[in-house]
Amino acid sequence: MMNIKNWTRVGLAGAVMAAAIVAVPALAQSDRGVEARLAALEKRVALEEDRAQIENLTRAYGYYIDKKVWSEVVPLFSKDAVVEISGRGVYKGAKGVDTLFSKVIGRQHKGLADGELSNHMVLQGVTNVAPDGKTATGRWRAFIQIGMWQKMGLWAEGTYDIRYVKEDGKWKFSLMRWYGTYFTPYDKGWAQASFGNNGPSKEFPPDAPQSVQYDAYPGHYVPPYPYPNPVTGRPWTQADTDRYSTRGMDPSNAANSSSAGSPLSLESQHPQQPPR
């Protein structure tokens, strides 16, 4: 006869086994929980990295512009990029981007001329990466010193509205719009003189005309914020922009008495320089 003690042992062991058997699916279930949390973490870390890469990309762009190294600027754009700088009109695709930077802005010269200054500080990025990690938006500003030794010096400032796309694992600019806020000669300052936005190039015309007509200082324009208010979540609308922007006050507008003179292209101020 089996004694009570033995039956107790059997019962106890059985109970432990039973507990183990019940615990296995519980563990498996919690593994799935771990798996899901790891996946979420990986995604969030990837988005943080995306933001860091977008910041580096945009700031690196500024450092190349500083020195007019167009061959390094052009590859920063996606295949189908759309770029619009100041009032020069819209340039599209790799070829358009190259035309804009190397030919229109760069006047077919590489690098700074002797005595030239083209400082392009890229600052204050508000960046938002889409949850899928494939696109992003950014608002930045450029604070600019342009000059030619013993000829001219200019302060300028303006807003960048940028869209990014991740192509083959690399972040690139897919859309870039730069809106000039002011262009003012160093010797006079913004209270006394201001230049208008640069107009389109006749020699290397854009693929499409300027998409938005707007005033530079002494007029002003509020480039639409690509993000909602960070606290209220209210999106910015084109109607808001229209309400808070002037019309017909650009210095290039002949009717504007604040104009420093005729429309002025920053490029036209650059001296002729020998090809390199």
- Which residues sit at the interface with another protein, rule CB under 8 A? 1-3, 6-7, 9-10, 12-17, 19-20, 23, 27, 30, 34, 37-38, 41, 44-45, 48, 51, 123-128, 139, 141, 143, 157, 159, 181-182, 189-192, 194, 217-220, 222, 225, 227, 229-232, 234, 240, 243-244, 246, 249, 258
Instruction: Provide, rounded to whole angstroms, the least separation between the CB of residue 1 and another protein.
Output: 6
Instruction: Provide, rounded to whole angstroms, the least separation between the CB of residue 204 and another protein.
Output: 31
Query: What span, in angstroms and rounded, lies between the C-alpha atoms of 79 and 82?
Result: 9
Query: What span, in angstroms and rounded, lies between the C-alpha atoms of 55 and 138?
Result: 9
Nearer to another protein, 150 or 232 (CB): 232
Instruction: Provide, rounded to whole angstroms, the least separation between the CB of residue 57 and another protein.
Output: 16
Nearer to another protein, 113 or 176 (CB): 176
Nearer to another protein, 92 or 236 (CB): 236
Instruction: Provide, rounded to whole angstroms, the least separation between the CB of residue 48 and another protein.
Output: 5
Instruction: Provide, rounded to whole angstroms, the least separation between the CB of residue 80 and another protein.
Output: 27
Torsion of CA 71, 213, 268, 176, to 10 degrees: -10
Nearer to another protein, 68 or 141 (CB): 141
Nearer to another protein, 45 or 254 (CB): 45
At residue 150's C-alpha, the angle toward residues 145 and 155, to 5°, is 20
